[in-house]
Amino acid sequence: MSARLPAKRTQSTEISAAKNEDFVTATIADQLFGIPVLQVRDVLGPQKITRIPLAPPEVAGSLNLRGRIVTAIDVRLRLGLDKPTQASRGMSIVVDHKGELYSLMVDNVGEVLSLSADDFERHPATMDQRWREVSTGIYRLQNTLLVVLDVSRLLNFASIEAA
Amino acid sequence: MDDLLSEFLTETNENLSVLDVELVKLEQNPNDPGLLSNIFRLVHTIKGTCGFLGLPRLESVAHAAENVLGRFRDGELTVSAYAVSLILESLDTIKGILSVLEKTEAEPAGTDEDLINRLNAMAEGRELPKAGAGAAAAPAAPEPPAEPPAAANDPEQLFEPVRAVPVAVEPPRPPEVVQTREVAPITEAPPPAPVPEPQHRAEAADAGPAAAADKGGESAVAQQTIRVNVDLLENLMTMVSELVLTRNQLLQILRSQKESEFAAPLQRLNHVTSELQEGVMKTRMQPIGNAWAKLPRLVRDLAHELHKKIDLQMLGAETELDRQVLELIKDPLTHMVRNSGDHGLEGPAERVAKGKPEAGRVTLNAYHEGGHIIIEISDDGRGLNLEAIKRKALQNGMVTEAELAGMSDQQIQQFIMKPGFSTAAKVTSVSGRGVGMDVVKTNIEKIGGTIEMKSLEGRGTTFTIKIPLTLAIVSALIVECGGERFAIPQISVVELVRAADDSEHKIERINGSPVLRLRNRLLPLVSLQRLLKLGHQDEDKRENFIVVTQVGNYTFGIIVDRVFDTEEIVVKPVAPILRNIELFSGNTILGDGSVIMILDPNGIATASGTMTVQDTSIATTEVAKQTRREDDKMALLIFSAGAGSPKAVPLSLVARLEDVDLNQVELSNGEPVVQYRGKLMPLVPIDANWSIVRDKRQPVVVFADGDRSMGLVVDEIVDIVEDKLAVELGTERPGFLGSAIIAGKATDVIDAGFYLTRAFKDWFGNGRDGAFEEERQHRILLVDDSPFFRNLLTPMLSVSGYDVTAVESGDEAMALQESGEQFDVIISDIEMPGMSGLEFAEAVRASARWANVPLVALSSHATPRDLDRGRQAGFNDYVAKFDRDALLFTLQQTLAEKGAA
């Protein structure tokens, strides 16, 4: 009896997950992005970041988050955008990837949106190769489009080096 | 308390608690031979140690119990509930005696005749009922725990103790209560009375407090060590690391405030944290030798299987590292040693043809360097065959011909680290199955380590594994370069030099490479700024600092802009995406909360391209020999007596140190004696002119053997030192072994035996052997799993003129064999966990170097059948474990025979 219960529960969550997924939204260069809320650990304001020499350019440095060392990734550079202007940068979303924390630097962090799977679409073939690589797809919102970022692909730097 | 005694108590108490559990298992599982032999061995050890310490009462009980167990083991008796209860009862009796021993340092008076009779009857196959009240009570009356209630599972036995034994003042211990409860419902008997009846209580009233104190059952000595879950330690370590960081932050804040009322408490917090940190660190550290323990055996088997001769050398086994890391490198290490033996070393014929010694050598070397642990695995075999690697790489399509042509030898060698690569022509059962170095490499990299390889064809291969001390707290120097701060582990920093144009040190250049003149030598310099590609080259700075760094035996200077403080830091591994940057060994959070990268001096040395392959194998061999000799230290008691230099005697021979009131010294037969523990103890002065001065106290060194003791009268106890007892100058003076340099002073080493025979003519039987007068000391290898015995026998044999090396297992002894040690005689215990004495003897006989070394078995069950078994295994002689005279005599005989042969 009791052994069967959890299985049922998982099923039901799967069903709801298929219908609605929650995303933390962020803007970079006026584009709206979404990161699955379950992967997000924290949202930070401007931080003191230590540069790491010899690191890939996308690695902005590391910072101290309550005693844990977090590697900061400049998502702008990862997406092949220009260096941000001083005014626009500042917010970060901290995500957990394989037990390590990474701080994804974005221009602004917005609200959490619960999005329906009906609005989901694979990304259009014309999208930039770099963007296609790090995202899973696109949600059609009322006024704008939201690009879903895939954290593990975003942090896979080997692909950039190869490119 | 006497060290020997307390060690004995600890060991025996541990053994007893194991026995309790094992016996219960045995009862459910009467036919398990492994269980039986383990139980037998434990009881046997207890008996043997008792015998040596001169605890006759304990020994007789243990002996009787051992007899019964021996019959079980040999299948001559079947295990019954009654028999198990009887053995458990013996254990309780032993525990009782031990608890008295712990309090008074002497065995309680009385006998355990009844119990022993029943045990002996059991051994003969009879079940003897418990003796009547009178017999048991009379001799045992004065001491409390003589007869703990026998909580037999046998219903007939169940209520015996309550009725029959008035001295059973001790309430039953928990395990027994459980047992009686199990039985009670079945027999439908009234509930067992946990305590004796009131009138008995009254009778034993005077013994009451002692019994009550006893109630805990467990010995205080046994409680000195506990087992703790590793996860708990892990957690503790993480918490302490965080505490250290917080402490650092607090101190940082304090520094910025001139006067603060927090200064004093913070200082205290600082100290406490440091000590806590140190303590917790220690709990996690284990010598790397633990991971190596299985290797000698493995290499031996390997040698047999492959018909090669392999010498395994293990250096730096005491190097400590985090136990978690230790677990993780165990398998890779085993694999690599196997590889070295199989692929690396040539067969004997091939080696001889190449002009190398027949036996190939595999060396393991571990040491700390620059905040890392370095483990080297090297062999002097054929080295990597570049052509074979090239062929294989082409064959597997890993590389094209053109690419190969452009590769350096080093790069080609790296192919062996790639998955699915094995150059072994045939797949042996040992290695060459395609799971090879790539797995090793992955495993090591998983814990943030690196593996390097240097190979010279025909000369051998060296693998260097570098493991960072993850989570370890290190002291680091904080420096600044190009506006960024970095930490350099203090351990690799030799000195700091300020270099400026106007100072005596100034950076000079040879073809652009910076160097520094330092004390008449040129120090190569590395510009951190250039190395880390930090900003523009700003070479013409007026002032620089040079951090002189040492990696191995390569010294170089790192040019930095500024030098700050040193700080205790917790090394945290860098994020996986940064792990390929070799210049950093980790990162950490400083006191001010900022993140800082930790520079890896080894990485800097490698990156600056100055590391050279050095042939250090000869040097390390020398060091190995030296360290082995230095390890043979023993504790010596230093005292003064009469005129002349201080005197010394091995501490292990000393039973106690006493301060005797000279008013109590009496004369018996013209010789001074003193009443000591209800007996007369003769006093023997070292100083012949010693006279009894009334109203004074005199220090006395007490030697004890069995129930006899002797007091050596000295003037003053000076010290106890750890030193190697190397008698330099022999002497004709009776009572002295000679002079030795101990703690930097010429010291006379006392021949304890001489004074013992002065007190009791027959102390050592007739006459001492003259082994000491011989020019060369005979080397003895002592193999015994009991630390207590090793401690006892080593000094005893050393004093008798032998050079003793003691190890705790057959495996360890075989490791010495592998490393080329030679001995004149090997003494080995029979009952040992792991490789037993008999197996060890067979291994010795089968070995290349020790096949002809006489083997003496040390055991206390010397029945003719055991003798036969021993002889078959290869032992030359048997000696009872607790008989010093026989041991010395046998050694002398064996050596004489060997000399004659």
Report pLDDT for B215: 42
Tokens of B287: 């010598």
CATH code for the domain of B837: 3.40.50.2300
Whether B85 and B157 share a structural domain: yes
In this structure, is residue B614 part of a structural domain?
no
Find the closest chain B residue to A51 by CA distance. Answer: B484
Pairing outcome for strands A59-65 and A100-106: unpaired
| pLDDT average, residue stretch B892-897 | 78
In this structure, is residue B616 part of a structural domain?
no
In this structure, is residue B615 part of a structural domain?
no
Residue in B242, B533, B575 nearest the CB of A100: B575
In this structure, is residue B870 part of a structural domain?
yes
Q: Which of B529, B577, B578 to mutate to test the interface with A (most CBs of A within 10 A)?
A: B577
Q: What CA–CA distance (Å, rounded) separates A63 from A46?
A: 11
Tokens of B746: 């010429």
pLDDT digits (tens, 9 = 90+) for B720-774: 777 666 666 555 666 776 777 776 777 887 777 667 666 665 554 433 443 334 4
Residue in A48, A54, A98 nearest the CB of B581: A54
With cut-offs at 50, 70 and 90, classify the pLDDT of residue B161.
very low
Whether B589 and B698 share a structural domain: no
- B239: contact with A, CB 8 A cutoff: no
Report pLDDT for A58: 84
- A152: contact with B, CB 8 A cutoff: no
Whether B41 and B189 share a structural domain: yes
Tell me the C-alpha to C-alpha distance, in Å, between residue B314 and each of B99, B302, B368.
Answer: 42, 17, 15
Report pLDDT for B468: 66
Q: How far is A32 from chain B (nearest CA, A)?
A: 26
- B594: contact with A, CB 8 A cutoff: yes
The residue from B207, B224, B241 where one domain ends is B224
Average pLDDT, chain B: 72
Q: What are phi and psi of B732, to 5 degrees?
A: -90, -15
Whether B517 and B584 share a structural domain: yes
Minimum mean pLDDT among A135-149, B88-102, B207-221, B476-490: which range? Answer: B207-221
B613 class by beta-carbon count within 10 Å (0-12 exposed, 13-18 middle, 19+ buried): exposed
pLDDT digits (tens, 9 = 90+) for B404-437: 777 777 777 777 777 666 555 444 444 443 446 7
Helices B837-846, B810-818: inter-axial angle, 10-degree rounding:
20
Whether B370 and B492 share a structural domain: no
Residue in B245, B584, B587 nearest the CB of A67: B245
Report pLDDT for B192: 42
Q: What CA–CA distance (Å, rounded) separates B808 from B242?
A: 39
With cut-offs at 50, 70 and 90, classify the pLDDT of residue B3.
low
| pLDDT average, residue stretch B243-251 | 82
Query: What Rg, from alpha-carbon coordinates, does chain A have?
Result: 17
Whether B539 and B423 share a structural domain: no
- Any idea which architecture A24-157 has in CATH? Beta Barrel (2.40)
Contacts 24+ apart (CB under 8 A), B404-410: none
Q: What CA–CA distance (Å, rounded) separates B769 from B763?
A: 13
The residue from B439, B468, B497 where one domain ends is B468
Contact A54 B588 (CB under 8 A): no
**CB < 8 Å to A67, chain B:** 242, 245, 589
Report pLDDT for A95: 92
With cut-offs at 50, 70 and 90, classify the pLDDT of residue B400.
confident
Tokens of B291: 């991971």
pLDDT digits (tens, 9 = 90+) for B345-378: 888 888 888 888 888 888 999 988 766 788 898 8
**CB < 8 Å to A59, chain B:** 577-578
Look at B524 and B534; give whichever has higher pLDDT.
B524
Residue A99's DSSP bridge partners are none
Look at B901 and B458; give whichever has higher pLDDT.
B458
Whether B480 and B537 share a structural domain: yes
pLDDT digits (tens, 9 = 90+) for A21-76: 899 999 888 889 999 998 898 898 888 888 888 888 888 889 888 778 899 988 88
Question: Could you say which residues from 92 to 151 on chain A have a Cβ atom under 8 Å away from some Cβ of chain B?
Answer: 98, 100, 102
The residue from B268, B286, B304 where one domain ends is B286
Helix (H) or strand (E) holding B605: helix B601-607
B78 class by beta-carbon count within 10 Å (0-12 exposed, 13-18 middle, 19+ buried): exposed
Residue at A63: amino acid letter? L
Smallest CA-to-CA distance from A27 within A83, A145, A109 is with: A109
Most confident of A105-109, B119-123, B532-536, B878-882: A105-109
3-state secondary structure B44-81: HHHHHHHHHHCCHHHHHHHHHHHHHHHHHHCCCCCCCH
Q: How far is A70 from chain B (nearest CA, A)?
A: 8
Look at B351 and B708; give whichever has higher pLDDT.
B351
Contact A50 B484 (CB under 8 A): yes
Tokens of A15: 């069903």
Q: Please, what sign has the CA dihedral across residues B751, B757, B760, B766? A: positive
Report pLDDT for B464: 87
Whether B551 and B510 share a structural domain: yes
- B577: contact with A, CB 8 A cutoff: yes
pLDDT digits (tens, 9 = 90+) for B5-43: 777 787 788 788 778 777 777 777 777 777 888 888 888
Contact B484 A69 (CB under 8 A): no
pLDDT at B490 over 50: yes
CATH code for the domain of B168: 1.20.120.160
Contact A53 B533 (CB under 8 A): yes
Whether B817 and B847 share a structural domain: yes
In this structure, is residue B244 part of a structural domain?
yes
pLDDT digits (tens, 9 = 90+) for B67-98: 888 887 777 777 777 877 888 888 888 888 88
Residue A109's DSSP bridge partners are A26
pLDDT digits (tens, 9 = 90+) for B532-590: 887 665 555 667 889 998 776 678 899 898 898 888 777 777 888 887 788 888 888 88
**CB < 8 Å to B571, chain A:** none
Contact criterion met (CB below 8 Å) for B333 and B378:
no
Report pLDDT for B149: 42
Q: What CA–CA distance (Å, rounded) separates B826 from B812?
A: 13
Q: What CA–CA distance (Å, rounded) separates B27 from B40?
A: 14
Q: How far is B323 from chain A (nearest CA, A)?
A: 22
Contact criterion met (CB below 8 Å) for A39 and A151:
yes
Contact A64 B484 (CB under 8 A): no
Give the total number of structural domains in chain B: 6
With cut-offs at 50, 70 and 90, classify the pLDDT of residue B882.
low
pLDDT at B664 over 70: yes
Dihedral over alpha carbons B594, B595, B600, B606 (to 10 degrees): -110
pLDDT at B901 over 70: no
Find the closest chain A residue to B241 by CA distance. Answer: A67
With cut-offs at 50, 70 and 90, classify the pLDDT of residue B136.
very low
CATH code for the domain of B706: 2.40.50.180
Residue in B485, B533, B572 nearest the CB of A69: B572
Smallest CA-to-CA distance from B700 within B641, B630, B771, B618 is with: B641
The CB-side HSE value for B489 (13 A sphere, CA atoms) comes to 27
Residue A74's DSSP bridge partners are A105
Whether B402 and B519 share a structural domain: no
CATH code for the domain of B418: 3.30.565.10
**CB < 8 Å to A51, chain B:** 484
Tokens of B824: 């004149």
Whether B815 and B891 share a structural domain: yes
CB-CB neighbours of B775 under 10 Å: 5
- B597: contact with A, CB 8 A cutoff: yes
Dihedral over alpha carbons B273, B274, B277, B283 (to 10 degrees): -130
Q: How far is A57 from chain B (nearest CA, A)?
A: 11
The percent of residues in chain B predicted with pLDDT above 70, rounded, is 73
Whether B31 and B96 share a structural domain: yes
Range of the domain at B740: 632-759
Residue in B242, B577, B589 nearest the CB of A64: B589
| pLDDT average, residue stretch B599-615 | 65
Report pLDDT for B625: 38
Q: What are phi and psi of B711, to 5 degrees?
A: -110, 125
At CA B672, angle to CA B666 and CA B674, rounded to 5?
55
pLDDT at B807 over 70: yes
**CB < 8 Å to A54, chain B:** 532-533, 581, 583
Q: What CA–CA distance (Å, rounded) separates B171 from B145?
A: 10
Contact criterion met (CB below 8 Å) for B651 and B635:
yes
Look at B866 and B275; give whichever has higher pLDDT.
B275
- B694: contact with A, CB 8 A cutoff: no
Q: How far is CA B232 from the centre of its chain?
A: 24
The one-character DSSP state at B344 is I
- B242: contact with A, CB 8 A cutoff: yes
- A54: contact with B, CB 8 A cutoff: yes
Report pLDDT for B730: 54
pLDDT digits (tens, 9 = 90+) for B498-520: 888 777 778 888 877 888 888 77
